[in-house]
Structures are given as C-alpha cells and as structure tokens.
Structure 1
Amino acid sequence: MPANTAPTRRRLTREQRARQLLDVAWTLVGEEGTDALTLGRLAEAAGVTKPVAYDHFVTRNGLLAALYDDYDGRQTAVFNDRIGNARARLADRAAAIASGYIDCVLSQGSEVQGILAALVGAPELYEVRRRYQQDFIDHCAAWLGPFATGGTLPVAARWAILGAAETLSEGVAAGALDKADAEAELQRLIVATVKRR
C-alpha cells in the first residue's frame, strides 16, 4: 500500500466550522450548563485546538452572544414559516406569533435563560438582545400593521406585544403557566392591542 493513501480529513470552511462549534456548544450547555462552557472546554469537545475556538469567538462572552444570535436566527425562521402559513387574518397572525414565540423559548428553554444570565451586564448581551428586539418589533409592523387603523401599528404597541410575549413565554418555561393558556392569552392580547389602534 503506498504511503500517501492514508485517509484524509476534509477541511471545513469557516462557516462550517462555526456551525460545528455552535452545535457542540449547545450540546455542552444542555448537558453541563452554561457555567461549564468555556472556549477551552468547547475546543476539547469539538476536537479542535483552543486557537480555533478563540479565532471564531474571541471571548467566552463572544461565544455566548453567538449562541444567542443563533437562537434568534432559528426563532426568526420559525416565525417566518408560521406567518407564511397563516391566513391573512388578524386572529390567525396573532395565533402564529403567540405559538411561534412560546415554542421557540421552549425549544431552548433553560439553555437560553442560562446564556442570558451569564451575559448580564456584558456589552455583547445588550447588542445582541437589542438587535433581536428591534427585529421582532419591525416584523410585528409588517405582520400586524395591515390590521391596524391607518395600516400602521405604533412602536409602543409593538414593544408591548414583545413584553407580553417574553413574560408569558418565561412563565411557561418556568412551569408557572400552561402552554395553551399562555398562547391563548398572548393571542388575545395581540388582537386587542391591534384593534385598539
């Protein structure tokens, strides 16, 4: 057998490596908790060197912010899918938003809450969370604006919907609220908020 026939490993692109590292990080957070997640631990679990992990995320806060951003990307995809499949009626759009928001929070549950807790006070958290909030209220303008008087849902109303969605989702994730009850309440709140405009 010639010496150069040893199996070779395919090199991942930067994007593929980042995806791999995020997937491994989600697994670590789920199995060991956020406190155990370091760039060194991530590199070990992913089978890469520490410099590879540091090259992608720079700091632990950078990794946590990337995880939150990854969660937000999946949440946006769920919303877009649900809204795309909902009939163009206010009640249907409100139901899609309510179920989509709560399902997304439940899909990551304590992991996302742990990431947020670990990032408290970090500039990375403010930037990522603010971008997520702005994206959500901008989407609410497009999803719900056509049903509001004058075709525009005021910014304050969109922030109110976001606040209710966050609070009800946290209640469900904590086991304090039934999921169906929270979805129905959020749907009612969205419809009432839009109809008042």
Structure 2
Amino acid sequence: MSSTGANNSSHAHKPRKRLSREDRYRQLVDVAWQMVRGDGTESLSLGTLAEQAGVTKPVVYDHFGTRSGLLIALYQDYDRRQTAVLDAALAASAPTLHDKALVIASSYVECVLSQGREISGVISALAGSPKLEQVKRDYNLLFLDKCRTILAPFCASGSVSTVSLWGFLGAAEALSYAAATGEITPEQAKNELFDTIIAMMSRHRID
C-alpha cells in the first residue's frame, strides 16, 4: 500500500520534459500570434508573452531581447511561410505569364488571409520605428527581387522596372488588407492583383 502511494507521488512530481531551444522558440512565436489575434499588438509584451506561455521572463528575453525583437520575429515567421507557399506554387505552375501571375497574386493574398488581421497589426507596429521599418523594407526588397526573377523571361528588356514592382507591391498590400477586413472578397483581391500584374507586364511584354 505504502509502496503504491510512493510510486504515485513519484509520478505526480515527475519533472516535465524540457523543450529544445528550437521548440521553445516555436512555442513562443505561436503563443505570440495567438495574443495578437485576440488582443492586437498593443497588448503584446515580453512579460505578457512569458505569462501566457507559462515560462519565466528570462526565457522570453533570451529568445527575443526586446519587444522590437519579438515583432521582428513574428514578421520573419510570416515571411518564411509566405516564401514557402509561393515557392511551392511556382514549382507546380506552368511556365507561362498567365500561370506565374496567377500564382503570385493568389499566393500573396492567401498568405495574408491565413494570418488574418493580425499580420496587419504587426506590419503597422513595424512602421513605428526606423529599425523595424528597415526590417520590413529589407524583406519587401527580397520579395520584389523574387518577382523580378519570375517575370524576367516575359520582358523584352529582360527585367521589370523597379517603379513597376513597387506599384505592384502597394496594390498587393492594399488588396490583401481589404480582403482580410472583409471590404472585398478574397477572389476579388486575387483577380484584381492578377490584372495588375498583367497590366504591368503589358508595358514590358515580349511581342
């Protein structure tokens, strides 16, 4: 009888398995997204994240350093998923302007919608300081370079102009946000963005 009780006591106080650093980082990012989804970025701090994730503050500070570091981590997480979705769709698409434009338009809108309104809050927060804004700009430049490479085979000059690409990105952000907030439907956003790409390419198109 006493032996059974001892075993139960030992089991009850068995320490929980510690997460690896990578798994802990993933957990903290997931919890941070849940917080942004529920209350917006205003309530997001390293202290509240630690509380919601059930860890001590030093653990969170060790991963992100500052609130700015946390916001950057969220944007990087979003960008990685956006890139993976786009790359997979491009690999499966036909080598035509129509198909490449459709993939770019659909993937961009779908990635924003998959994260809901919270990505807009993170992007707005990133615009709050020069350092955070630079991070967003750097990722935008990488995305535009990717689009330039994808569309280059369909350009008479061999490259889409930088001005045109920035105009396309502005349309992509505005249309995706409108779809995320319910102002327009996802299909309307995708179709309009597709038309924007085709119109852009008509000025660079190989005859």
Pair in the same fold by TM > 0.5: yes
Q: Could you say which residue in structure 1 is the equivalent of 2:109? A: 102
Q: Could you say which residue in structure 2 is the equivalent of 1:34? A: 41
Q: Could you say which residue in structure 2 is the equivalent of 1:153? A: 160
- Contact residue 147 and residue 195 of structure 1 kept, 8 A: no
CA distances 1:42-79 after superposition (whole Å, capped 9, x unpaired)? 11111111011111111112111211111111111111
Q: State the alpha-carbon separation in 2 of the partners of residues 85 and 168 from structure 1.
A: 25
Q: Could you say which residue in structure 2 is the equivalent of 1:12? A: 19
Q: How does 1:13-162 map to 2 (within 5 A)?
A: 13-162=20-169
Q: Relative to structure 2, which stretch is displaced further, 15-24 or 111-120?
A: 111-120
Q: State the alpha-carbon separation in 1 of the partners of residues 166 and 91 from structure 2.
A: 22
Q: Relative to structure 2, which stretch is displaced further, 93-102 or 185-194?
A: 185-194
Deviation (angstroms), 1:4: 8.1
Q: Relative to structure 2, which stretch is displaced further, 113-122 or 181-190?
A: 113-122
Q: State the alpha-carbon separation in 1 of the partners of residues 56 and 114 from structure 2.
A: 30
CA distances 1:153-196 after superposition (whole Å, capped 9, x unpaired)? 22222222211111111221222222212211211111121231
Q: State the alpha-carbon separation in 2 of the partners of residues 167 and 11 from structure 1.
A: 43
Q: State the alpha-carbon separation in 2 of the partners of residues 124 and 105 from structure 1.
A: 23
Q: Relative to structure 2, which stretch is displaced further, 69-78 or 156-165?
A: 156-165
State the structure with more CA Rg: 2
Q: State the alpha-carbon separation in 1 of the partners of residues 186 and 35 from structure 2.
A: 27
> Is it true that 1:192 corresponds to 2:192 in the alignment?
no
Q: State the alpha-carbon separation in 2 of the partners of residues 71 and 56 from structure 1.
A: 17
What percentage of aligned pairs have identical amino acids?
A: 48
Q: Relative to structure 2, which stretch is displaced further, 92-101 or 6-15?
A: 6-15
Q: State the alpha-carbon separation in 2 of the partners of residues 109 and 60 from structure 1.
A: 21
- Contact residue 40 and residue 118 of structure 2 kept, 8 A: yes
TM-score when scaled to structure 2?
0.87
- Contact residue 94 and residue 190 of structure 1 kept, 8 A: yes
Q: Could you say which residue in structure 1 is the equivalent of 2:172? A: 165
- Contact residue 165 and residue 186 of structure 1 kept, 8 A: yes
- Contact residue 126 and residue 136 of structure 2 kept, 8 A: no
Q: How does 1:176-191 map to 2 (within 5 A)?
A: 176-191=183-198
Q: State the alpha-carbon separation in 1 of the partners of residues 43 and 183 from structure 2.
A: 27
- Unaligned runs of at least 5 residues, structure 1: none
- Contact residue 40 and residue 50 of structure 1 kept, 8 A: yes
State the Cα RMSD in Å: 1.9
Relative to structure 1, is the Cα distance of residues 150 and 118 closer, same or farther in structure 2, using a 3 angstrom cutoff? closer
Q: Relative to structure 2, which stretch is displaced further, 91-100 or 177-186?
A: 177-186
- Contact residue 28 and residue 37 of structure 1 kept, 8 A: yes
